[in-house]
Amino acid sequence: MFKGRDIISIKDFSKKEILHILDVAEDMFPIAEGKKKSNLLNGYIMGSLFFEPSTRTRLSFEAAMKRLGGDVIGFAMPTTTSIQKGETLADTIRTAESYCDVIVMRHPKEGSARMAAEFARVPIINGGDGAGHHPTQCLLDLFTIRREKGQIEGNKIALLGDLKYGRTVHSLAYALALFKVEMVFISPPELQMPKEVVEECREMGAKITIKNELDGLEDIDVLYVTRIQKERFPDPEEYKKVAGSYRIDLKTLEKAKEDMIVMHPLPRVDEISPEVDKTKHAAYFRQTFNGVPVRMALLALVLGVVE
Amino acid sequence: MKELKVQPIKDGTVIDHITPGNALKVLKILGLLEKQPDSIISIAMNVVGKRGKKDIVKIENRELDPKEVDKIALIAPNATINIIRNYEVVEKRKVMVPDEIVGIVKCANPNCISNTKEPVQPKFIVKSRNPLKIKCYYCEKEPEDISSQII
């Protein structure tokens, strides 16, 4: 079912397939923690092609491969490669695939992973294509919600911050709609969730509320915070006002449910105060860790080592 | 006697009811000048027909595969393809928007991989025919004004 498949967009997967990935990730959890040793991917090589900076995606993919006994080749910045000499992505992919069994890539252009998949014989895993997709982030978010709350269905989930440009929230909203959860989209008017995303989610059966104010956290189960980028605002004062009003601190959390979790794809700038880190609400570092078992599951599945 | 502006052809293909002004684009999209440099092709533009103005393209001694001609549906949605044998129309049908549009429309997203030096042609998936909605195969963006994106 998964052997040889590309992982380009979360939309390429059914709910049943997503749940299967999460189940495999659950099996991988003790290996990701280093509590159990594995040689599942011994003899396999992952090509890690990062044309753009990344901390979590690249490191967790490399950790995932190595924890499963596999090896990694690649680059973290294209400046050390022939891309600097003007080589196309298509040729870079054709070269890299002759040295490895699976390719993980991040590239600034939208649709780059889809194009790479056309040229590669080995599976391509999209680690982010510009403002396009970031399916492995979406899967680890779902994994985190399921792990923290027991299940995905039945939760009321608020997505907060830059809902217009943030690539993770579009995929996440779609994936959550597959589970028919109730969602609240909180953003400044200029950074609202695109209309087509809202419509699509509603058509899929998700109940959605759209708001500008960060209030009414009393009945929220998951608060998913995203970074608001300064460069989206022509006026720096306007940015300060918006960023300040969405800052999560102890006071914001006073009215929250005891078991509400705060998630964030990271990096954060100042949208979550460090004082929140020590509270039981903070799930974002566990979320970061969850990237490892989820990416282990994906590697093992597309390489056909696990069915 | 009324003078015929464009003579009937004995054998070949007539593309009729092309949106006025688009005949040259039709030739370009079909690549006829490159593929058949020796073909005799007549073009009539802004001809007044029963349903108003139209353009017509006649290609002699070549029967185009209607599926191949479907590519023009984006710029000439009302066009008809007539296959002519010995001055008779032996096959006639309207163009239909194909499921996939390759190399005709450029993606409107400047950050799309299809707008780079990569060796790929722009490719769109048809989401709906009426109203016409297409989605870039690569970046998944939908152009708002399709006609302005025609290459």
Nearest to A111 among B112, B117, B119 (CB): B112
The band of B2, judged by pLDDT with boundaries at 50, 70 and 90, is low
Residue A243 pLDDT: 78
Q: What is the DSSP string of B18-70?
A: EPTT-HHHHHHHHTHHHH-TT--EEEEEEEEETTEEEEEEEEET----HHHHG
Convert the pLDDT of each residue in B88-144 to its tens digit: 999 998 998 889 998 888 999 999 999 999 999 999 999 988 788 899 999 999 998
Which strands form A124-129's sheet, in the order they lie side by side? A71-75, A45-50, A102-107, A124-129
Contact assessment for residue A42 and residue A70, using Cβ atoms and an 8 Å cutoff: yes
Q: Give the whole-angstrom CA distance, residue B62 versus residue B114.
A: 33
Give the mean model confidence (pLDDT) for residues A209-235.
89
What is the length of chain A? 307
Q: Which two tokens stand for residue A2?
A: 């998964």
Convert the pLDDT of each residue in B114-130 to its tens digit: 999 999 999 999 998 87
Asked casually if ipTM beats, i.e. exceeds, 0.90, the reply is no
Q: Give the whole-angstrom CA distance, residue A102 versus residue A44.
A: 8
Q: Is B45 exposed, middle or buried (0-12, 13-18, 19+ CB in 10 A)?
A: middle
* Residue A94: active-site member: no
Interchain pair B138, A114: CB under 8 A? yes
Q: Which two tokens stand for residue B43?
A: 């073009």
Convert the pLDDT of each residue in A96-148 to its tens digit: 999 999 999 999 999 999 999 999 999 999 999 988 899 999 999 999 999 99
Residue of A nearest to B140 (CA): A111
The band of A222, judged by pLDDT with boundaries at 50, 70 and 90, is very high
pTM of whole model > 0.80? yes
Q: Which two tokens stand for residue B73?
A: 């549906």
DSSP A98: T
Chain B nearest C-alpha distance from A31 (Å):
35
Residue B77 pLDDT: 84
Nearest to A115 among B109, B138, B140 (CB): B138
Residue B146 pLDDT: 82
Q: Is A91 exposed, middle or buried (0-12, 13-18, 19+ CB in 10 A)?
A: middle
* Cβ neighbour number for residue A133 with a 10 Å cutoff: 28
